[in-house]
Amino acid sequence: MAARKKSGKSSGGEPPRRGRGRDQLELGLSKTEERAALHEVTQEKYLSYALSVITSRALPDVRDGMKPVQRRILYTMWQQRLTADTKHRKCAKVVGDVMGNYHPHGDASIYDALVRMAQPFALRAPLVDGSGNFGSLDGDPAAAMRYTECRLTPISAELLVELDEDTVHFRPSYDGTKEEPVVLPAKVPILLVNGATGIAVGMATNVPPHNLEEVCAAAIRLLDALVEKKALSARELCRTIKGPDFPTGGQIVSSADEIKQIYETGHGTLKVRGTWKLGPVSRAEKKLLVTSIPYAVNKALLVERIAEVVTSRKMPMLVDVRDVSTDDVCIELTLKREADENKVLAYLYKQTPLQTNFAVNLTCLVPTENPEVGRPERLDLAQILWHFLHFRLEVVTRRLQHELSALERRIHIL
C-alpha cells in the first residue's frame, strides 16, 4: 500500500481539527485552568501549609495538652486495650496501626513521639510504659521499633476512660474509613503537667512541666473562685504553683517576681542550673557531686564540655571530671584542696550547659465555634486552667446526658 502524502488538509479537503486553541496548546492549559500570578499562588499555598502545621501538627490543644500525633498514638493503644494491667506489645504494631488508620506521615516521626512519651526524663508524668531501650539522658537513641514494646501508664487511662460515653466530638480519619477523637476527655490538665514543645510556621510553643499536685490544687482554687464569681489572676495562682517542676531536677535561679511575670504574660526566660553537694575531702583534693542537671541538657555533652575546661586549664582549680551516674545523675568533679568551690561552679555555670536558659512560651490551640479546628493563642496561667475547667464541664455534661439516655432506654424496655 502506498503511503499517503502529508498535507495541510485531510482527505476530505478540510483543515486538521484542533482540540485546543493555540494559546492553550502552547501554555499546556486545560479548559478548566486559568492564568494566575505566581506570587498569589505561592502566598495562598504557603498560607494553607502554615495553617496546617499550626493546627494539625506542631501546637498542643489547651484542653488535653496533646498534639495530633500523640493523641492518635494514645487512642490507638486504647483501642488495642494496651492498658497498664496488660502485657507489653511491640511498638512496631502500634506505629503501623497509627500510620495506617489515622496519621498519614512517616513511621519515624510517630515512633519518635511514642518514645518521648515513654521517657521519664522528658515528661513529668510519662504516658507510655516502655519495655526495652527508650534512650537515655546522655542522648542515646532508642532501639528500633521492632525491638521495643509498650503499653499505657495508669495516668493515661485518666485521659481516655470517658471516650466511649459520647463526651467528645469525633471526626473522620484522613481516608474516611474510621473516626478519631478531636480531643481526648482528659481528667488531668496534662498540658501544664508534662509541658510541650513545638515549632510551627511563624510561631512556636515551649511549655515547661509542672508538679501534678500543685496544678490540680490551682485548678481547684480557680474553680472555687468561678463558683463564687470572683476573678483569680495568674499572679494569685502563683501562690499554689510556685514554678516549673522539671523531671531532671535542677534549680530555678530566677526570682519569684520574674516567674510571676512569665505566668502573667505567657512568655519569658527562666534560668535553670544543676544542683550539687560536697563530696569526700582528702589531703590533696576534694570532690563535688553534681546531682541534677538542667532540663533538656544532654548529660554526655555536659561532661564533655567540663572536660574541655579541665584539659585546656582555663580553670586550674578543677582537676578532673567523671560521670559516675547510675539510675540517678552523679557527675564527680575533682578540685584542689584549697580551691573555692563557689568560684569553680560560677565559672562552669557561665561557660558550660550546667546553667541554661529555658524560654517559656505558653502558646497553644484554644477551641473555636468549629469543634474540629483550634485557634493559636498565647495564654497566661489562669487562662490555661480556665479553658481546661470549661472543657471538663462540657465533658461531664455530655457524659451525664449519655448516661441519662441509656437509663431512659432501659426504663422504656422495663
- What's the rounded Cα separation, in Å, for the pair 310 and 375? 50
**Which is the catalytic residue, given 147, 174, 263, 347?**
147
Residue 161 CA to its chain's centroid (Å): 21
Number of neighbours of residue 174 by Cβ within 10 angstroms: 12
- What's the rounded Cα separation, in Å, for the pair 248 and 241? 18
The single-letter DSSP state of residue 243 is: S
Burial of 190 (0-12, 13-18, 19+ CB in 10 A): buried
Q: Alpha-carbon Rg of the chain, whole angstroms? A: 29
Let me know if 349 is a catalytic residue: no
Residue 390 CA to its chain's centroid (Å): 22
- 134 near 118, Cβ under 8 Å? yes
What is the residue type of 103?
A: H
Name which of 354, 376, 383 is nearest 198 in CA terms.
Answer: 376
Evaluate the CA torsion angle 293, 296, 301, 305 in order and state its sign: negative
Catalytic residue numbers read: 147
